[in-house]
Amino acid sequence: MSGLSLFEKVWREHVIASLGGGFDLLHVDRHLQHDLGGGRSLQALRKRGLAVRNPELTFATADHVVSSEPGRSGGAHDWANVLIDDLRLETKRAGVRLFDVGTDTQGIVHVIAPELGLTLPGTLVVCGDSHTCTNGALGAIGFGIGATEIVHVLATQTIVQRKPKTLRATFEGTPPRGVYAKDLILALIGKIGAVGGVGYAAEYAGPAVRSLDMEARLTMCNLSIELGAKIGMIAPDEATFAWLADRPFAPVGAAWDRALAHWRTLPSDADARFDREVSLDCSTLAPQVTWGTSPEDVIGVDQAIPQTAKSDALAYMGVQAGARIAGTKVDRVFIGSCTNSRLSDLQAAARVARQGKVARHVTAWVVPGSMAVKRAAEREGLHEVFRAAGFEWREPGCSMCVGANGELVEPEARCVSTSNRNFVGRQGPRARTHLASPATAAACALAGEICDVRTFLER
Amino acid sequence: METFTEVRGIAAPLLQPNVDTDVIIRVERCVRTPKEELGRYAFEALRLRPDGSEDPQFVLNRDPWRSAKILVCGENFGCGSSREMAVWAIAGMGVRCVIAPSFGEIFHGNCFQNGLLAIRLEPQTVERLARRAADPGTATFTVDLERQLINEDTAFEIDPLQRKALLEGLDAIGLTLSRESEIAAFQAADRKRRPWVYELPA
């Protein structure tokens, strides 16, 4: 018998019952809630006459509808404040811990869960948000669920899931300068397509992944869902443990030692078998940027838009097949989202921002992922770097990644964004999104057009 | 949940790949529109032109497909966000069945929570059905869940658990609540095995 993969080991530890046909009833260790659906789901539960089964394993924050305007106290609109107030009322009633706006722990749910040590290796984490896969960077199984499933988890602390197949993506070689975790995962999506991971739990492995720091690993796992994989994981290692130690909800003392001994058993066995294996050579990659309306529409920044590009995507984006992507004029730059809003992302962007000024026709935002990120960045003076260069330094939340708070890119305006989705209308009706790394986004802000960040890094 | 045994109605071809849930329902509709009214905003980005008028080229704006009960879709239909409003919006249009070579997985799960039958078929089979749907003379389909047959000639597979849930309109929460003793036993054992998961600071 072959060995087990990381995914199989963690899945197996959570099976309460097998339901037949490949479906299992799984224990949920961490249920994360946010302002978009949190209040409503708790109300729905109450209306059924049910209580939250394990409020101590349920955690909430306000991120989707909060304003990112400097000096904000909640949402920018009445309807947003209703959602935030509902979340406050319902979490209080249910005894669920809320990391509220206005406190030092608020932030994007997939930024704060790892940052607070809520997400631990080997845990099973769910949230009503598809980017819950981000949490897999710690060696957890994290996946997004729908509104009905949220109520199921609240009521039972369990979820019914069909066990997916396994895919291992091995990243070989050393990425060149200017190529970050965002570029690696976008390149993988470009290679196997947005449907390449459908039906699989992905594991990212190989030397290029092992050498990534934890924040970069979170970026990589964040885009699993854009690969079609609901789950994406990276084996926990010494870097994981060092990063987790002393986080507010991480175990301490003897409990830490015991947990650590367990976590060391989780990485895939050497003879583990995967249903699909793919590999990617990172050593020849250029910084990546998307040209179309799916994350799979991605090319090196030094390349031309493919001649085979779909005409509807070209028309929507206002670009030409065969044209070089570099030199495309941009109107907005958004540095933020659960993909790329952590301290190291802001540091990478600031290194570029130090070298110039945001082009006069560009509006550029930096939206830190959490209050903790914001404070840490300010301690380093990054907010001053961004402001001096002409970027707006804003308050933590999902902001313009999804525009649920009303912060939108204007119709037909072009935005280089460090977020995860370049879908039609994602950042606003008819908005044109180009996905890229924080360093590339900062470079585009300065150049006023899509440009190769490597020219800034060589200076 | 509404039960599902058989659906007979117009099928609309919508073969573009990677139709995501942002395209199916915009986020501000998720936030500010009651569930019952979501249907009218489904596929807004494809249905409407920049000036807000209907795009006559879009299949769901044309007769007979305007009243489609079945959608025949491209690969990775419903990819992206977990928003269940995407399913509510499609159901709100009167659609009861979606056929595609592959689905966004969270969307696929959400379909079955709402009595919407999502059928995976080989790409060639989907293309054949789409050609049939594109002709108004043959666009009326019958989807029979009990016999797992489309138009009496195309068989489909479905997970037995999901089939049963649709046929009987099962309440998933009620079913799991009946396993409370198993859940409690699991947690008691797990607390000893992985205490750090449960012992959290006040």
Q: According to the model, what pLDDT value does residue A51 have?
A: 98
What is the least distance, in Å, from the CA of A4 to any CA of chain B? 19
pLDDT tens, position by position, A170-184: 999 999 999 999 999
- Flag whether residue B157 sits within 8 Å of chain A, measured between CB atoms: no
Answer yes or no: do A195 and B75 touch at CB < 8 A.
yes
Q: A430: alpha, beta or left, given left = phi > 0 and alpha = psi -120 to 50? A: left
- pLDDT tens profile A173-221: 999 999 999 999 999 999 999 999 999 999 999 999 999 999 999 999 9
Q: What are the residues facing A315 on neighbouring strands?
A: none
Reply yes or no: is the peptide bond before residue B64 cis, omega within 30 of 0. yes
Instruction: Establish how many alpha carbons lie within 13 A of residue A328's alpha carbon, considering only the half-sphere containing its beta carbon.
Output: 28
Looking only at the bridges linking them, the beta strands covering A288-290 and A276-281 are: unpaired
Chain A residues within an 8 Å CB radius of B105: 164, 198-199, 228, 230
pLDDT of residue A458: 74
Task: Please say if the pLDDT value at position B2 is more than 80.
Answer: no
Helix or strand run (H / E) with residue A42: helix A38-47
Helices H / strands E in chain A, number of each:
16, 19
Taking contacts as CB-CB distances below 8 angstroms, the residues of chain B near A23 are: 159, 161
The burial of A347, by beta-carbon neighbours within 10 Å (0-12 exposed, 13-18 middle, 19 or more buried), is given as: middle
Question: What is the structure's pLDDT at B121?
Answer: 98
* A83 and B CB contact within 8 Å: yes
Shortest CA distance to A215 belongs to which of A189, A181, A249, A250? A181
For position B3, what pLDDT does the model report?
A: 81
SS3 B57: coil
Q: Which residues pair with B118 in a beta bridge?
A: B98
Q: Measure CB to CB from residue B195 to each of A143, A255, A404 and give the nearest one.
A: A255
Mean pLDDT of chain B: 96
* Residue A312: predicted pLDDT: 94
Rg of chain A's alpha carbons, rounded to an integer?
21
Q: Which of A366, A363, A372, A299 is nearest to A337 (CA)?
A: A366
Cβ under 8 Å to A: B residues 115-154 = none
Give the pLDDT score at A67.
98
B172·A27 Cβ contact <8 A: no
Residue contact B173–A120, C-beta within 8 A: no
Interface contact A105, partner B, CB < 8 A:
no
Would you call B179 exposed, middle or buried from its count of C-beta atoms within 10 A (0-12, 13-18, 19+)? middle
pLDDT at position A219 is: 98
Residue with tokens 């507010």: A248
Measured CA to CA, the distance from residue A203 to residue A273 in angstroms comes to 12
| Helix pair angle (A371-379, A343-353), 10° resolution | 40
Work out the minimum CA distance from A129 to partner chain B, whole angstroms: 5
Interchain contact B102–A (C-beta under 8 A): yes
pTM above 0.95, yes or no: yes
Could you tell me how many helices (H) and strands (E) chain B has, helices first? Answer: 10, 7
In chain A, which residues have pLDDT < 70? 1, 459
Q: Which residues of B touch A158 (CB under 8 A)?
A: 176, 183
For B133-176, write each residue's pLDDT tens digit: 999 999 999 999 999 999 999 999 999 989 998 999 888 999 99
Chain B residue with the nearest C-alpha to that of A97: B202
pLDDT in tens, B38-55: 999 999 999 999 899 999
ipTM of the complex: 0.96
Q: What is the pLDDT of residue B141?
A: 98
Are the CB atoms for B71 and B60 separated by under 8 Å?
no
Q: Does A402 touch chain B (CB under 8 A)?
A: yes
Give the pLDDT of residue B32.
87
Note the pLDDT of residue A459. 58
**Contacts of residue A406 in chain B, CB cutoff 8 Å?**
28
